Amino acid sequence: MKNLKSRLISRLAFGLLAITLAIAWGTATHAKARRHIVVASTTSTQNSGLFDFILPRFERKTGIQVRVIAKGTGMAIDIARRGDADVLLVHHRPSEEAFVAAGYGVRRFDLMYNDFIIVGPTADPAAIHGVASAADAFRAIARHRALFLSRGDESGTHSREREIWRDTGIDPSGASGTWYREAGAGMGATLNIAAETDAYTLSDRGTWISFANKRGLKLLFAGDPKLFNQYGVILVNPARFPHVNARDGQTFIDWLLSPQGQATIAAYRVNGVQLFHPNATAGPKP
C-alpha cells in the first residue's frame, strides 16, 4: 500500500500538470476563436510603431482583431504566397505587382509613402552631407572605402539600396566583408550594428525616428526622389486560397484607403514628426 503522503504529492503534481495543460489549451483555442485577420507586413513598418497607433482604432470600430506578422519584405510576400496571411502590406512595387500578376493577390492599391534616408557617423568621413543625389553619396562612400552596412535580407530597403548601387555603376558585393558589409537582418538589428561600428547605412525614416539606440549615428542625406518609398496593400486572393478571411480583409483595406484611415495614418507622429504620408487614390472597390 502506498504511503498516503507520497500519494498526495503525486496527485498534486498531476493536478498542476492538468491545470497547466488546461491553461495552454484555453489560450490556444481562445486565440483561434477570436474574429481576426492576419496581415503580413515588414519589420520597418512594425518598428516604426505605426500599427500600434492605427490598429486599435480599426479594431474598436469593427471588432476585428488585426494580427501583424512582421518580417522582411521577401519573407512577408512568401508568407502571403503560401496563403498564411489574409492581407499583404509591403513597400516594393515590382514585387507587389508580380504578386498580383501571378494570381496570389486580388489588386494592389497605393497606401502611403515615406522615404529612405542615409545615416552615418557624425564625423561623416566620406563627406556625403550636402551631395546632390543618393547615387553621389554612395559613390563617395565607395571611393572613400568607408564602412557601409547593408540589410542584406532581400527586404524593400535592401532592394532600394541595390538599385542605387546600380545607378552608380559600382558593384559593392566584391568588397563584401571589407568596407561593404551585409547584415542579413531587420532594420532595427542593422541600425544596432551600424551604430556600434560607426557605419553608413540606408534606412527608412520611420524606423530611424523611433530607433532608440542611435549613439553616434546621424541623418546625413535625404530628399532624393530616388529615395521615395511607396507602400502598397493587397488582399490575398480568396479564389486561390479559399480559407482566406476575404470579407474582413477587404474591410481592413477599405478602411485604410478611406478618408478616416488615411487621416489616422497621417496623424501618427514620433517626436512631433509625421512618419507616413497617405497617398491612396480613390479607386473603385473590387
Partner 1 sequence: MSEIATAFAHAFRLIVELDPKLVEIVLRSLGISLSAVAIAGIVGMPFGALVAITRFPGRQALIILLNSLMGLPPVVVGVVLYLVLSRSGPLGIFGLLFSPTAMVIAQTCLITPIVAALSRQIIADLYEEYRELLRSLGISTRRAIWTLIWDGRLSLVTALLAGFGRASGEVGAVLIVGGNIVHVTRVMTTAIALETSKGDLGLAVGLGIIVLVLSIGINAAAVVTGQFARRIQG
Partner 2 sequence: MEAPVPTSRTWAPMAADRGILPLALDRVCFIANNKLLIDHVSLELGPGVITMLLGPNGAGKSLFLRLCHGLVPPASGAIRWLGPEATQAARHQAMVFQRPVMLRRSVRANLDFALRARNYGRARRRRAVEEMLERADLAALAERSARVLSGGEQQRLALARAWIMRPQVLFLDEPTANLDPAATRRVEDIVGAIHDSGAKIVMTTHDLGQARRLGQDVIFLHQGRVIERAPADRFFEAPQTPQASAYIEGRIP
Q: Would you give the DSSP letter of residue 176?
A: B
By beta-carbon proximity to partner 2, the closer residue of 3 and 281 is 3
**Angle at the Cα of 257 from the Cα atoms of 255 and 259, rounded to 5 degrees:** 85
Residues of the chain by 3-state class (helix, strand, coil), percent to 5: 45, 25, 30
Q: Out of 69, 222, 266, 270, which residue is the one contacting partner 1 (CB under 8 A)? A: 69
Contact flag: residue 1 with partner 1 (CB under 8 A) = no
2 binds, among partner 1, partner 2, none (CB under 5 to 8 A by kind): partner 2
By beta-carbon proximity to partner 1, the closer residue of 66 and 257 is 66
Contact flag: residue 29 with partner 2 (CB under 8 A) = no
1 binds, among partner 2, partner 1, none (CB under 5 to 8 A by kind): partner 2
**Minimum CB separation from partner 1 for residue 168, in Å?**
29
Phi, psi of 39 (to 5 degrees): -115, 125
Contact flag: residue 212 with partner 1 (CB under 8 A) = yes
Report how far residue 173's alpha carbon sits from residue 277's, in angstroms, rounded to the nearest whole number: 33
Touching partner 2, residues 45-104 (CB under 8 A): none
Of 119-127, 146-154, 207-215, 252-260: span binding partner 1 (CB under 8 A): 207-215
Among candidate residues 41, 24, 66, 2, the one with its CA nearest the CA of residue 255: 66
Among candidate residues 44, 42, 71, 41, the one with its CA nearest the CA of residue 201: 44
* CB contact at 8 A, 232 and 96: yes
**Minimum CB separation from partner 2 for residue 6, in Å?**
9
17 binds, among partner 2, partner 1, none (CB under 5 to 8 A by kind): partner 1
